[in-house]
Structure 1
Amino acid sequence: MSSDAVAKVAVHRPDPPRDPRPAEGAEAGAPRIVPRRHLGQWAAAAVVLVALALAARSVARNDAFQWSVVADYFTTASVLRGLWLTLWLTGAVMALGFALGTLLALGRLSANPVLRSVSWGYVWFFRSMPILVQLLFWFNIGALYPSLFGVKTVDLLGPVTIAVIGLTLHEAAYAAEVVRGGILSVDRGQVEAAQSLGLGRWRRFRRIVLPQAMRAIVPPAGNMLIGTLKGTSIVSVIAVQDLLYSVQLVYHRTYQVIPLLLVATIWYVVVTSVLSVGQYYVERHYARGSERAR
């Protein structure tokens, strides 16, 4: 075969077959889309991980933290008693606070102007006053009322009772707004449909309004629960032997301030983590049937 014939064959050689189907999500002949490489984000993540590793190494190897002392006092009887009082106080304040807050929320939504005004005034007053001022005021209530119902105020209102009263009144003001917001989030058509079925006011609230309002109530209520758990530490100023006050009694005697504060901190972290897990499952329960349940 001559060289001209070889060249002609080379020129007329058919191209390899192409896949006539266009790439998924793109038209035929469109340029290939290459994912953007976020090099800056990966570099920042690496820096953060290195910083966290160095911080954890520093905390673990720093003898000033005295981890052996932390382990010795972590489950002592006095610390566990203080932890139990903290948990009990948190539960009592949340239960009483939300019970009173629900009544206040219903008062604010009432058609009665007196109930609306009184409820609004309560919320305004107790949200305006710092919780520490409230506790100190109740602690010194004997200066205003030496006796109540024929009983000396000092005998009637002990430190734990004062802590429950002060924290509950404070908590109820915030709980009222949380409950009111949850009730207002329920579509008005739901209530009107229940009215058309002849359901009474209480039954409408219990069976129709409240279950739907819980979707909006649970997340802020969970935050309030965790905040109340940590906020109970303020009762140590009136000599209530909660978790913080218990470790303070120990380090005032041993002068081991840092390890004893770590004991209280770790317990708060543990309990807060458990409550956060519980909040997640409660939110998922009330979010059934909605997009947030996914």
Structure 2
Amino acid sequence: MSFDSAFFWDSLLHPSAAFLEGLWQTVYISVVAQVLAVIIGLGIALMRRSKRRWVAGAAGGYIWVIRGTPLLVQLVLVYNGLAAAGLYTFADATLFGLVVPGVIQAALFTLAVNESAYMAEIIRAGIDSVGKGQLEASLAVGMTPRSAMRWIILPQALRFIVPPLGNNFNAMMKTTSILSVIGVEELFLNTQAVSSTTFHTFEIFIVAALYYLLLTTLWSFVQAWIESRLNASAGAPRPPTVIQRLFGGGRGAPPPAQAALPQGTAATPAEIR
């Protein structure tokens, strides 16, 4: 069977409506799930730092369970398992005039919960990287612990949180491909549909791979810009350029988070997944 270059270039440069719909689903599910994960992860990270043992223990148990079980298993348990057990069924819902299918709700919930366990450790490490003297000085001038965390600690911790957060979001966009097992019409599932109707499996999956590559590369530019702005505002060394991130080479300053994260703390998708 020969490679159909005409079909390949046509699919790459003029993707079908279904293919573009899958691409859009991949992007917005990734963005919404990551935002939710950061919010939940922040709460879990603050619980982990609590002086109350039962609060810190509950947060630790949450992280242990979520990080210790595969995302695919969690996804099937949430969408299929809860319904089979008669506990909860994800039904279509209307939000701000938009209909959100039940399968999308399950996907967002599972991705957000799974990612929040990793985000909690990243945020906690970022907070711990800020000198304790910052909090003590804030309390000394009359700030409450909550206001000190909001206005003094977290803004400084951002510089250490953003690099691993960006890496995790990059992984999130690729991880959405497993949502096809519960019928979410994201890029991978729609690519399978095109493959089954055209029988150009090799060509269309190369196109899908290139579009995934495009998404992650574009995000690398955004992440590099954000890190550069944060480092410049803090007077820190410039982070690696996009070329250094993608291809290596050059000495470039390592991302601050890599140096700041405690030993054993996951900082890249390969390490944490």
Scaled to the shorter chain, the TM-score interval is: 0.7 to 0.9
Task: Please list, as runs of the form range in 1=range in 2, the aligned pairs for 1:195-214 lying within 5 A after superposition.
Answer: 195-214=139-158
Of residues 79, 98, 110 in structure 2, which corresponds to 1:166?
110
Q: Distance in 2 between matches of 1:155 and 1:93?
A: 18
Q: Is the 8 A contact 1:211 1:286 kept in 2?
A: no
Structure 2 residue identity aligned to 1:109: R
* Alignment partner of 1:143 is 2:84: yes
Of residues 91, 110, 116 in structure 1, which corresponds to 2:50?
110
Root-mean-square deviation (CA, aligned residues, Å) is 1.6
Give 1:135 shift.
Answer: 0.8
- 5+ residue gaps, structure 1: 1-62
Task: Please list, as runs of the form range in 1=range in 2, the aligned pairs for 1:44-123 lying within 5 A after superposition.
Answer: 64-74=2-12, 75-123=15-63
The corresponding residue for 2:235 is 290
Task: Please list, as runs of the form range in 1=range in 2, the aligned pairs for 1:179-258 lying within 5 A after superposition.
Answer: 179-258=123-202
The corresponding residue for 1:155 is 91
Larger radius of gyration: 1
Q: Is the alpha carbon distance of 1:199 and 1:137 closer, same or farther for their aligned partners in structure 2, counting shifts above 3 Å?
A: same
* Alignment partner of 1:281 is 2:219: no
The corresponding residue for 2:271 is none
Q: Is the alpha carbon distance of 1:64 and 1:194 closer, same or farther for their aligned partners in structure 2, counting shifts above 3 Å?
A: farther
Q: Distance in 1 between matches of 2:2 and 2:42?
A: 48
Q: Distance in 2 between matches of 1:207 and 1:161?
A: 33
Matched residue SS, 1:211: helix
Q: Distance in 2 between matches of 1:208 and 1:86?
A: 35
Q: Deviations over 1:235-288 (max 9, x none)?
A: 011111000111100111111101110111111111111100000011111112
Structure 1 residue identity aligned to 2:197: R
> Aligned residue pairs: how many?
227
Percent identical residues: 33
Give 1:112 shift.
Answer: 1.6
Task: Please list, as runs of the form range in 1=range in 2, the aligned pairs for 1:114-133 lying within 5 A after superposition.
Answer: 114-133=54-73
Q: Distance in 2 between matches of 1:229 and 1:154?
A: 23
Q: Is the 8 A contact 1:106 1:180 kept in 2?
A: yes
- 5+ residue gaps, structure 2: 93-100, 240-273
